[in-house]
Amino acid sequence: MLKQLKIEDVINETLTGDTHTNALDFITFLRSKDYSVDWDGNWWCVKHKDDCPVLLGINTGGIQFGALFNYCTFDNNSSVSDDLQETTWAHVQICKHFESGGKKCGCGDQPGIVAIFGKEFNVCKSPLTFLDPDAETLENMKQLILLLGKHF
């Protein structure tokens, strides 16, 4: 049986300073929007209606706090702020295989070319990756979560 870790406990035990504050703030936000945050043995899965649109990591791979978005179903939405668009585009995980001239994702069965707020990207497993986000980036991540919630 997999031991269920509570993410708030791990955050309180391992993170400090702004990273600690930002991570707890994000978890509080998720819970306020009826997302559960469940340990799967490697990551915390942010669950919404039996789907896992976001994975969270604490102290993994040299990263204190990270969020991997499994979906980026953000169409050409002109009603979002320029700041949200720019922040999102800055955190797109481009597949290294595409960057080196490959014609498809070298990481396996992945989405490939995806439009995010009207701009096309050759994406990888987790199309959006946020590593140790600051408070401003975290606010944009919250907006992305709310936009994703409309699709589930």
Give whole-number Cα distances, 126 to 41, 103, 141, in Å: 18, 18, 14
pLDDT value at position 2?
47
pLDDT of residue 102: 56
- With CA atoms as reference, report the closest residue to 53 among 146, 148, 117, 138: 148
pLDDT on residue 71 = 76
- Domain ranges across the chain: 7-149
3-state secondary structure the chain: CCCCCCHHHHHHHHCCHHHHHHHHHHHHHHHHCCCEEEECCCCEEEEECCEEEEEEEEEECCEEEEEEECCCCCCCCCCCCHHHHHHHHHCEEECHHHHCCCCCCCCCCCCEEEEECCEEEEEEEEEEEEECCCHHHHHHHHHHHHHHHCCC
Position 98 scores a pLDDT of: 59
Rounded average pLDDT per 10-residue block, the chain, 152 residues: 75 94 96 91 86 88 86 72 92 70 57 78 79 94 87 58
Query: What are the tokens at 148?
Result: 């994703």
Residues contacting 103, CB < 8 A, separation 6+: none
pLDDT for 1 equals 42
Report the pLDDT value the prediction gives residue 15, as an integer from 0 to 100: 94
How far apart, in whole angstroms, are the C-alpha atoms of residue 109 and residue 77?
27
The verdict on pTM exceeding 0.75 is: yes
